[in-house]
Structure 1
Amino acid sequence: MFQLFEEFKDKEILSYYKDNLEKVEPEFAYTLQEYKDGLLLFELMQQKIWNQSSKDTLGLKNFFEANLNSYKTKELKKIKGEVMNDYQLFLEKNWIADLKRKSTIEVNKKQLKKLVKYYKKK
């Protein structure tokens, strides 16, 4: 009976630890948040850049025509992949510029100092 109780207790302690790992291990919490932020950024870029560039054939054609001097061949069909890549970079640059115009960036100086101190140790 005692052994069963010990096994149950160990199992519950481990389960509690796993459920509260973010609170117990700050480095794990930071890594997990970084992962979530990365997924969010990936999803945004997929919506704002990659999906738009593959659906917006008129925009791609207009971009190609506006930048004809950048390409050796003047046939879009032959270099569509290269033009699409350039168009995606163009969309990304414009999206970031738009975000900068619309958003105010505030830096928490206390957190910044902690980050600087943390990375200087590594």
Structure 2
Amino acid sequence: MSVRHGFYAGWHGAEYEASPDGDLVRLYLARPADGFRRVSPDRYVQVVPLSDVDHLQYVTTHCTWHGEPFVVLGEHDGWLRVEYSGGDAPVAERLGQDLGLELFDRGVYQGWASRHEVEDVREDIV
């Protein structure tokens, strides 16, 4: 399972990373394709009307690590970038100390967890 976090849109039978913008949706690919314009190395975009997409949804990946809830923000070489999502400040501070999480913002702790240490990886689609 790949980690997805953000907007995704269905268009012409495929699913794309997406970014809604009013009545338009920007669709993204990591490789060249017909109709997509290169905006950076490994990033291509096509803007389509919102009315042309099959679906537009927000996907968040969640997991449990050391018995606590986390949001998975990304993945790299078998490691997951996670953020504590339990909403309990004392627990977040304890996890920060115990697991070596970084204080990312006030009350927001993030870190890297081995994919083998996390449980119950699942998507929430809105």
Q: Bin the TM-score by the shorter chain.
A: under 0.3
Task: Identify, as 1 or 2, the structure richer in strand.
Answer: 2
Mark the structure with the bigger radius of gyration.
Answer: 1
Task: Identify, as 1 or 2, the structure richer in helix.
Answer: 1
1 or 2 for the larger relative contact order (CA 8 Å, sep ≥6)? 2
- State the TM-score, normalized to the length of structure 1: 0.26
